[in-house]
Amino acid sequence: MKQTLTLLITSVLLLTGCSKHVNPPPADADSIETLRTFLDAVIADDEKTGQHIAGPCWHKVKKWFNLNDDRIIKYEIPKAATPRSMAPPEARFDGIGFDYWDTSGKYHDRMVALFERENDKSPWQICEISHEFAP
């Protein structure tokens, strides 16, 4: 009985409470904070947060959670991007460059994340990630 109870408790903890979770960015987060949170969610395999950040664009970016050997394990947003002047308050689109390393150790540079929002009061949504020079 004791072994069964221990096994049951362990199983419940594994299935419910031990997975990594990334908190969604606040509604007033800038696009850089939104990108960092999305990439942290990819690293943690937290699809729920990724879907929250992407909103209606989820179908365009969900593949980043299913890359297996090409999964992002570390990223870097170049210093040139972080102190940049923020998009004007009324902007509805933004793009931020970043680099990343995958699980096989390969370095991917010159990636760009594209963001959209409905208006200046709505949160940024990540809508595309691609190589900067992709056709």
Specify the number of domains making up the chain. 1
Within 8 A by CB and 6+ apart from 56, the residues are 125
Domain assignment of residue 95, yes or no: yes
Domain assignment of residue 2, yes or no: no
Q: 117, 84, 81: which is closest to 99 by C-alpha?
A: 81
What pLDDT, in 10s, does the model give residues 44-91?
999 999 999 999 999 999 999 987 778 899 999 988 776 555 677 788
Q: 20, 26, 74: which is closest to 44 by C-alpha?
A: 20
Mapped onto helix, strand or coil, the DSSP state of residue 120 is: coil
Which pair of tokens denotes residue 86? 């923020």
Domain assignment of residue 14, yes or no: no
CATH of the domain at 114: 3.10.450.50
What pLDDT, in 10s, does the model give residues 19-34?
689 999 998 999 999 9
What range defines the domain where residue 60 resides?
22-131
Domain assignment of residue 7, yes or no: no
Domain assignment of residue 53, yes or no: yes
**pLDDT at 83 (0 to 100):** 54
Please compute the mean of the pLDDT values over residues 7-13 and round it to a whole number. 51
**pLDDT at 13 (0 to 100):** 47
Domain assignment of residue 121, yes or no: yes
Instruction: State yes or no: pLDDT of 11 exceeds 60.
Output: no
Query: What is the chain's Cα-based Rg?
Result: 18
108 backbone dihedrals φ, ψ, rounded to 5°:
-115, 115
Domain assignment of residue 32, yes or no: yes
Domain assignment of residue 30, yes or no: yes
